[in-house]
Structure 1
């Protein structure tokens, strides 16, 4: 049985406990997203994977998430159903999908199919978790969602750490992710909702169009698209970039494993997400997102000029990029939450993540080709287009009267 929801006058302690439990549930459930990423090196030692098969292990999850969020948005699942029940059912289904993967060889067609199912289930975990956090927001929405994004960032970084210290049997990360999902399904049932809940809207496919009709939400989503063009392509290929750069400078004797460097770069984003949330609540959403995208775009261009240079120099710029590239992420979701019809926040967040992750399928593949044909010195520069486009969108949003609803009037 779910715990009683919290009234407006209840304590800060109840809020902290609920958010902590939500974060733990989110981390445990999202482990299924990165399960095969952590084990792909071990898979290579036993099976011959074509580049297409290897990419499919990652892209099938992304594609499943896009499909899941599209269905969820059209049906308004995050606004019309119990949030904890939706999260619980999605996490449990993802856990079963990962358990079934253990019955197949990695080269089987069943694995990407189950990875697709896992991604679709995450549509009931990630945006739903953001809406649960939003029910607790009292002038700190940016920070609360930033904490969730920070948890996602740590999950993205862990496969690099696994690779740095030796490969595990590929079954172990998948089994661990399945158990984590089942744990999340149980824990989320004990997460209490905050006082900022809303009435259930009527079912209407037209509700999804509000993401375009609402001018403020539209510009926030365009900013998010610029951000997502860069983010997942950077996360996907920073390990390959660091490996190639270290080999260029040090041959087979780098000062430390390039996988460890990649872990530090991606994991630094957890700090960036929390710092960005704290700053945006105090100084303004468009200000923080604009500054973050300007910094990350410059890093995307600049890091290529350090390719093959000293490890400390490449890593320093990489860590700065890791912080900047994610510092703005939660603020696009916070902005959409503040600018939307309160009854449709779940649907608007789901649409935002849907279109963002759909775009990542393009940028991830683009960098794969660019690394091959342009070389790593120039490949990442193509990602700078995204944050500079997003910067323009957020500057336009800043000038709208609706922007006064952002961060308590701090724009």
Structure 2
């Protein structure tokens, strides 16, 4: 963390990255809170797998929309204002979900609303990192930022698991929502240590939203990276939504006496993935963005097709593979963000992140629902406790992400051509 700080502009004070990452950790706790209570809600409300998956998909639809909006707003009003103001609105929406969801329909609407208000803690945070961390350490800084989010996801699952056993799953939701409020307060402290927003030069032309959108869509390296990110999100969002339920179902089928063991093990898998975010981001500074993306993508795709076949494994072995799967699936997440910042002009980076968010979280909104459909089909055809039902569900994750490697190759070629053109004599 000190490395990122010392390469930041002179006006940034030490400690800004620690505060920013801690804020992201706390605000990220609501993201996996529903995954932690999904098995309990499904039992209480008698939901099908498709209905249960649709609630997580509603979050992603809302989150995708918010990321698009906050990217545009951050380019116009500055990421500093949007990071704090939007975070406060997101915290209020998280509390509304925890307090008032009482059936499938209300949870669908309220968790979707929470997602719709949650984007300010992500895209503007990436822009703040780009402004305060130098290019040589930007990958590492973004890895720390996304690793902090993974820590929040793990902590959220652990909190939900604990309160679901000793009290009630709603109490866990309330604690997770309360943490988002604390995250907003830390965001205010973080901004005080960062370089202030650059003043706009009087008379300088301001690029319109439509112009920036058109420039981004026509930016071939950026769009190739965005497509690769979309296929990455299909895999990652389905994994996050259904891993706790998968491990919990496996523990019920075995000798485990603790009904929340699967959720606790999913929290451990998220905790391990913190290492993946940090190492992946740092490795991309040394080895190149595309190379790290390709290695992580091929490895996680292999596990997507293999994971369902592990249904009958001992729980400890399945949990170990879940941790590896989570680590590999998230190892390149920060790299996509860094790669986009490398190839896009700073004045339209927010718009570029907005376009990427629509593509990535649009795919991520569909995949948990498709997973649930595949699981319902498999259980109807092969039986509730059949391995083949889970094979069908996890295979839908791999199939939806198969084009990712091709887009990574395309991004590497186009970004190399862009660098060559920029360096060519005029």
Deviation string for 1:236-293 (max 9, x for gaps)? 1122222333445x35558992222222223211110111001001111000000000
User: Which residue among 152, 171, 180 is the counterpart of 1:155?
Assistant: 152
Instruction: Return the alpha-carbon distance in structure 2 between the equivalents of residues 315 and 238 of structure 1.
Output: 10
The equivalent position to 1:394 in structure 2, one of 388, 408, 425, is 408
**Structure 2 alignment gaps of length 5 or more:** 1-5, 379-388
Alpha-carbon contact 1:49-1:107 (below 8 Å) kept: no
| Cα contact 2:272–2:326 (8 A) shared by 1 | yes
Q: Distance in 2 between matches of 1:279 and 1:256?
A: 35
Q: CA deviation at 1:39?
A: 4.5
Aligned pairs for 1:14-53 within 5 A: 14=12, 16-40=14-38, 47-51=44-48
- In 2, Cα distance between equivalents of 1:335 and 1:197: 23
Deviations 1:169-216 (A, max 9, x none): 344334334433333333322323348969694333231233321011
- Residue segments in structure 1 that go unaligned for 5+ positions in a row: 1-5
Partner residue in 1 for 2:386: none
Match of 2:114 in 1: 118
Contact 2:87 2:118 in 1 (8 A): yes
Other-structure match for 2:63: 65
1:10 is aligned to: 10
TM-score (norm 1): 0.85
Name 2:269's counterpart in structure 1.
265
Taking the aligned partners of 1:188 and 1:157, their CA distance within structure 2 comes to 20
Cα 1:284–1:85 change in 2 (3 A) is same
| Correspondences of 1:244-255 after superposition (within 5 Å) | 244-248=249-253, 250-251=254-255, 253=257
Find out whether 1:187 has 2:186 as its counterpart.
yes
Cα pair 1:88 1:184 within 8 Å, conserved: no
Q: Are the counterparts in 1 of residues 151 and 271 from structure 2 also a CA contact under 8 Å?
A: yes
Q: What is the CA–CA distance in structure 2 between the aligned matches of 1:181 and 1:332, rounded to whole Å? A: 25
Residue 141 (structure 2) aligned to one of 131, 139, 144: 144
How far apart in 2 are the matches of 1:44 and 1:370?
17
Question: Is residue 269–residue 326 contact of structure 2 (8 Å, CA) maintained in 1?
Answer: yes
**CA displacement at 1:162 relative to structure 2:** 3.4
- Pair 402,209 (structure 1): closer, same or farther in 2 beyond 3 Å: farther
Q: Is the 8 A contact 1:69 1:123 kept in 2?
A: yes
Alignment of 1:229 with 2:234, yes or no, is: yes
Contact 1:229 1:363 in 2 (8 A): yes
1:219 maps to 2:224: yes
Q: 1:142 to 1:354 in 2, by over 3 A?
A: same
User: Are residue 327 (structure 1) and residue 331 (structure 2) matched?
Assistant: yes
Deviation at 1:31, TM superposition (A): 2.6
Give the aligned partner of residue 385 of structure 2: none
Higher deviation after alignment, 352-361 or 57-66: 57-66
**Distance in 1 between the 2:259 and 2:183 partners?**
39
Q: Which moved more, 1:32-41 or 1:151-160?
A: 32-41
Quick check: 1:79 aligned with 2:114? no
d(CA) in 2 for partners of 1:236, 1:79: 31
Check conservation: 2:227, 2:407, Cα contact below 8 A. Answer: yes
For the residues of structure 1 that align with 2:146 and 2:173, how far apart are their CA atoms? 22
- Aligned residue in 2 for 1:294: 298
Taking a change above 3 Å as real, the CA distance of residues 164 and 94 of structure 1, as seen in their structure-2 partners, is closer
Superposed CA deviations along residues 54-90 of structure 1, whole A, max 9, x for unmatched, are: 44543332221122233345xx212111322211111
Alpha-carbon shift at residue 389 of structure 1 (Å): 1.5
Could you tell me the TM-score, scaled by structure 2's length? 0.82
1:335-393 CA deviation, whole Å, 9 max, x = no partner?
11111122011121122122211111211111112223331134312322344411111
